[in-house]
Amino acid sequence: MLIRPYSPDDWDAVWTILEPVFRAGETYPVPRDISAADAKAAWTSGAKQVFVAVDDSSGHCLGTYYLRPNFEGAASHICNCGYVVSEQARGKGVAARMCEHSQTQAIARGYRAMQYNLVVSTNESAVHLWQKMGFAIIGSIPEAFRHPRLGFVDAHVMYKRLSPPAR
């Protein structure tokens, strides 16, 4: 598996990965009926740096993630990421590899911490993976996410320090 920067030529492959996840509406706070154009803007525009995980031999896209500042100004040392793995590539460690890669990228860019703002509590495999990767649940937002089958469920704010304590 190779993780490399996204280029606009990758969009069709990336959208193939994102679309079923956004349409399912169980993990990301994105409108389920979002258009491809709006999804492209949401995933790749602004201050985001986007990466793709591709299969070494076939070149197939296995997953994608973005890295961006989570806040500006006096809190711009905290970054945020979003990760999506292709349905065909689940359970192969792609998310863990992208998470590791994103932390290395974040440290190289001078970020001091990484924060996930809305980890849906019922997405247990994600919650457990991020905990395994060193992220802590620093708070839970009650009924933050309207799950299509489960109704209103909580979501976690998760955080990992990327550098030694400042104090």
Nearer to a copy of itself, 45 or 140 (CB): 140
**Most distant CA pair in the chain: distance in Å?**
48
Question: For residues 29 and 52, what is the distance between their CA atoms, to the nearest angstrom?
Answer: 21
Question: For residues 27 and 23, what is the distance between their CA atoms, to the nearest angstrom?
Answer: 10
Out of 29, 45, 104, 110, name the contact with a copy of itself by CB under 8 A.
Answer: 29
User: 49 burial class (0-12, 13-18, 19+ CB within 10 angstroms)?
Assistant: middle
Q: Is 122 in the site for a copy of itself (CB under 8 A)?
A: no
Q: Is 37 in the site for a copy of itself (CB under 8 A)?
A: no
- Mode of pairing for the β-strands spanning 2-5 and 49-54: antiparallel
Q: Is 31 in the site for a copy of itself (CB under 8 A)?
A: yes
Q: Is 106 in the site for a copy of itself (CB under 8 A)?
A: no
Nearer to a copy of itself, 18 or 94 (CB): 18
Q: Is 151 in the site for a copy of itself (CB under 8 A)?
A: yes
Q: Say if residues 36 and 44 touch (Cβ distance below 8 Å).
A: no
Secondary structure element (H or E) that encloses residue 158, with its range: strand 151-161
Q: Is 28 in the site for a copy of itself (CB under 8 A)?
A: yes
The nearest distance, CB 31 to a copy of itself, in angstroms, is: 5
Question: For residues 67 and 80, what is the distance between their CA atoms, to the nearest angstrom?
Answer: 6
The nearest distance, CB 111 to a copy of itself, in angstroms, is: 12
Q: Which spans of this chain sit near a copy of itself (rule: CB under 8 A)? A: 25, 28-32, 34, 71-78, 112-113, 115, 117-118, 138-148, 151-152, 155, 157, 159, 161, 165-167
